[in-house]
């Protein structure tokens, strides 16, 4: 099995952006664009990892800190494809070009995803993050992009295309990225049969104490108080 981390970085949303996948110091790659969103970087990192290992028959364990990417692949894409790449509300799926390329790259592959917490000391994730941010910084400063050694024996890739066009305004891009990330973390919004949805929330001791206190003040349980916020 090949274990690899994939990560994206955007200095602004959209802004100079980078992507990277990392196996070890001899097998990694990075790239980016002058203007893209964080979610585009996250998707591109997984796509390029799949392309770099397409000549191999090993199972691939992809470590991501983006639940948006994981849910796109493992939950939402089949429904989006059935609906002509539209969401449950009828609006076009964001980042459709990258998602379609990712869908093609997954055909015939043996893979699974593992979610890892970002910026929490996970060695491979940190290595991918450093390289993605370095690529984004290179585009921001106009320097050489540290592209990495890639994977020996991988098929030659053509020139990297421009990123899919991000939303026109900074505010729109930031809102879309926040919504996509929130959707991935909280709910599967494209499951029309779901009458009850489960949410996992991690709190610090201080946050939990504040939640209990505010729930008590409102005369509700913490669970009821949270449902009211949502």
Q: What share of residues in the chain are helix, strand, coil (percent, to 5)?
A: 45, 20, 40
**3-class state of residue 228 by DSSP:** helix
- Give the contacts of 5 (CB within 8 A, at least 6 positions apart): 21, 22, 62, 63, 64, 116, 122, 124, 125, 127, 128
- Whole-number Cα distances in Å, 68 to 25, 75, 80, 142: 27, 10, 14, 29
- Between helices 222-229 and 205-217, what is the axis angle to 10°? 90
Residues labelled as active-site residues? 7-8, 42, 65, 119, 129
Residues pairing with 124 in the sheet: none
């Amino acid at each position: 099995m090949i274990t690899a981390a994939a990560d994206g970085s955007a200095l602004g949303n959209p802004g100079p952006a980078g992507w990277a996948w990392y196996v070890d110091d001899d097998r990694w790659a990075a790239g980016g664009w002058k203007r893209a969103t964080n979610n585009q970087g996250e998707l591109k990192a997984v796509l390029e990892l799949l392309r770099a290992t397409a000549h191999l028959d090993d199972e691939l364990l992809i470590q991501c800190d983006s639940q948006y990417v994981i849910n796109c692949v493992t939950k939402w894409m089949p429904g989006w494809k059935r609906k002509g790449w539209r969401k449950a509300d009828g609006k076009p799926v964001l980042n459709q070009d990258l998602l379609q390329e990712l869908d093609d790259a997954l055909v015939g592959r043996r893979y699974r995803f593992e979610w890892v917490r970002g910026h929490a000391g996970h060695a491979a994730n940190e290595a991918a993050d450093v390289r993605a941010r370095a690529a984004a910084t290179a585009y921001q400063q106009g320097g050489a992009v540290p592209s990495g050694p890639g994977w020996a024996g991988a098929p030659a890739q053509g020139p990297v295309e421009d990123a899919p066009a991000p939303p026109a305004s900074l505010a729109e891009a930031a809102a879309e990225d926040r919504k996509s990330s929130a959707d991935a973390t909280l709910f599967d919004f494209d499951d029309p049969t779901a009458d009850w949805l489960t949410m996992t929330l991690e709190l610090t001791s201080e946050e939990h104490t504040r939640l209990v206190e505010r729930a008590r003040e409102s005369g509700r349980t913490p669970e009821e108080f949270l449902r009211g916020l949502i």
